[in-house]
Chain A
């Protein structure tokens, strides 16, 4: 039985240039989705010791490229495939199948002592553009705003850039910080600061602001009303053979454990038990 299964997987894997081994799954792509894939891989490999899953984070574009030239079986992406990527895939006889594995929401946070209680998306953009420089322009005290951002190579930054800045450039006096935790630390200790973190990082030491009247939360991200949010994807070539390791890996997000893992890393699961 086991041999049969192995053979089946070998037959499947043979499709992937023959380079991939039977129990090997290669994951490549987004730095945002990477942590999910890594946590999934760790969990899955513990359950199935014979399986080897490698996850690299080289960006969504590279993930798509790797899928098309068959150097990976799963492309993790923080955006959908672009039209030309679909075309390239179809030309190489690859059928990209997209699985939405989690949702990513970003909350704007300020110091708990800050009297500001809400912002609009445009106000957030103006702050980060450097157009609004002082909290008194928003009805707050007369102190210059300290704007804090994630460093430019994080997925959180990518989401923020795409959903808030929409291609415009962040002001030069913006401070850059290496992690979600570090942003929270800076904001909780700096009365004049504003920053953004993944929704999982909100706690009582900082104040999360409603954007356009909508509080960032699991619910508002899921129902689509919160504006700074996006789905995160895993893309495979065709729907994976049912029961295969690949199938079980990419559908892990549907399980209770998968949901817990996603919540643990600070993302929002698409399923809820």
Chain B
């Protein structure tokens, strides 16, 4: 009787294993097929037009007579938007993950985390609609003041923190009875300089007029927000995984909370945090709907190149936007150029994945050596 049950169990296990293997194999084969098909349709473009034009020219006129396929501006646009979303998402995401795992009380975390994860469930077209209909006009009408407020929100706490650290370091070697006064005076002077500087800068920013609200800044912020749940969730998990023992060990050795966080917990969770960042960034790179709706889609390199207030065009939006007409002319440059762009996108994510894999491996080896 029990023999039959165990045999049945073994059989079920075998079948389930088979299913799982099939599933894994299926996704692997899918990836390989995608790479193969995209490469197959991308190569004719380089045969047709040569490799130079795509990467060196900024003239993107796929429907012109004759057509021009210079995607340099599009590659720069994708890069710029990615950079922008990294600047928004990475500091915010990691800070939020640290706050959730080590600073906020447990009960608050239990309510905040699901709320953050809801962000991931909002469809991208909703984000795009928000970016186009609400955020873009807001940037046009109140862009300057918004930027000034953002400047204060970011620079004031950071600056104060910096002043705190600098004064502490500068007065450390002075005799204790003078140190406090010296420190206060130094801090006051630095604080005045900081506030003055911020006032001047924000006055300048307030006067700034943003001509078009559908620009790199708009999508960078939106994509940054879209990448946040991924980054927070994965980074927080890896911070949690660093374990209670590690933290308690650090405290037992007399480390402060800050020391424990920055010198023990974060290095231990480093690989997970980097993986979180790469996952989040890949979400931003691959996002299509938001950039198609709200980046302006102008195939130009902003001048100067870091001008986030200028409309840009990205790889994903170009592929999505030009697909409709491209299929009519199968075999033409206009059709194959989209696959060439897709190949660029695929290679980027492939390299990023390899990089994250490499970082993870290295980190594991390092930690393994410590153990």
A interface with B by C-beta (< 8 Å): 31, 57-59, 61-62, 143-144, 146, 151-154, 157-158, 161, 167, 169-170, 172-178, 182, 185-186, 189-193
14 CB contacts below 8 A, A to B, read A59-B328, A62-B328, A146-B212, A153-B323, A158-B63, A169-B59, A169-B61, A169-B64, A172-B300, A173-B300, A175-B311, A177-B297, A178-B292, A189-B133
For the complex with contacts A58-B327, A172-B60, 10 further pairs of A-B residues with Cβ separation under 8 Å are A146-B212, A151-B321, A152-B322, A153-B326, A157-B63, A175-B298, A178-B292, A185-B132, A186-B132, A189-B136
Known: A152-B62, A169-B64, A185-B133. A31 touches B324 (CB 8 A): yes
Interface residues of B, CB < 8 Å — how many?
A: 38
The smallest beta-carbon distance between B320 and chain A, in angstroms, is 9
Contacts of B73 in A (CB 8 A): 172
A58 — nearest CB in chain B belongs to which residue?
A: B328
Bound complex: CA A167 to CA B63 (Å): 10
Contacts of A169 in B (CB 8 A): 59, 61, 64
Contacts of A174 in B (CB 8 A): 298
The smallest beta-carbon distance between B71 and chain A, in angstroms, is 13
Known: A175-B214, A185-B133, A193-B212. A153 touches B311 (CB 8 A): no
Q: Taking each of A31, A176, A177, A192, which has the highest tally of chain B beta carbons within 10 Å of its own beta carbon?
A: A176
CB within 8 Å of A: which B56-78 residues = 58-65, 73
The smallest beta-carbon distance between B260 and chain A, in angstroms, is 50
Contact string, B318-334, partner A, CB cutoff 8 A, digits 1/0?
00011111111100000
B213 — nearest CB in chain A belongs to which residue?
A: A190
Q: Taking each of B73, B212, B311, B322, which has the highest tally of chain A beta carbons within 10 Å of its own beta carbon?
A: B212
Contacts of A58 in B (CB 8 A): 327-328
Q: Does B159 contact A (CB under 8 A)?
A: no
B64 — nearest CB in chain A belongs to which residue?
A: A169
Contacts of B325 in A (CB 8 A): 31, 59, 152-154
Contacts of A62 in B (CB 8 A): 328-329
Bound complex: CA A157 to CA B132 (Å): 21
B214 — nearest CB in chain A belongs to which residue?
A: A175
B298 touches A172 (CB 8 A): yes
B65 — nearest CB in chain A belongs to which residue?
A: A167
A153 touches B324 (CB 8 A): yes
4 tightest Cβ-Cβ pairs between the two chains A and B: A153-B325, A58-B328, A176-B297, A59-B328
